[in-house]
Amino acid sequence: MQTILCFGDSNTWGSNPATRDRYPVEQRWTGLLQRHLGDGYRVVEEGLNGRTTNLDDTIEPHRNGMTYLLPCLETHDPIDLITVMLGTNDLKERFGRNAADIAQAAALVARTAATAPVGPNKTAPKVLFMAPPPVATLTGFDLTFRGAEEKSALFARYYALQAGYNGLPFLDTGTVIRSSDVDGIHFDADQLPKLAAAVLTKIRELLT
* pLDDT tens figures, 38-72: 999 999 999 999 999 999 999 999 999 999 999 99
pLDDT band, residue 193 (cuts 50/70/90): very high
Q: Whole-prediction pTM value?
A: 0.97
pLDDT score of 139 more than 90:
no
- pLDDT tens per residue, range 61-105: 999 999 999 999 999 999 999 999 999 999 999 999 999 999 999
Confidence tier at 208 by pLDDT (50, 70, 90): confident
The pLDDT, as a whole number, for residue 109 is 98
Closest to 199 measured CA to CA, from 106, 126, 123, 95? 126
**Tens-place pLDDT, residues 164-178:** 999 999 999 999 999
Residue 171, C-beta contacts closer than 8 angstroms, at least 6 positions apart: 128, 129, 130, 131, 198, 199, 202
Rounded-to-integer distance, Cα 172 and Cα 155, Å:
9
Whether residue 3 is predicted with pLDDT greater than 90 in this model: the reply is yes
What number is the average pLDDT over the span 13-28?
Answer: 97
pLDDT of residue 140: 83
In the chain, what percentage of residues exceed pLDDT 90? 98
Return the CATH number of the domain spanning residue range 2-206.
Answer: 3.40.50.1110
Domain boundary assignment for the chain: 2-206
| Count of CB atoms situated within 10 Å of the CB of 166 | 16
Pairwise pLDDT comparison (208 vs 201), residue with the higher score: 201
Please write the tens of the pLDDT for every residue from 145-159: 999 999 999 999 999
- Given a cut of 90, whether residue 19 has pLDDT beyond it is yes
How much is the CA Rg of the chain, to the nearest whole Å? 16
Alpha helices in the chain (DSSP H): 10-13, 29-37, 65-76, 99-114, 148-152, 155-166, 192-206
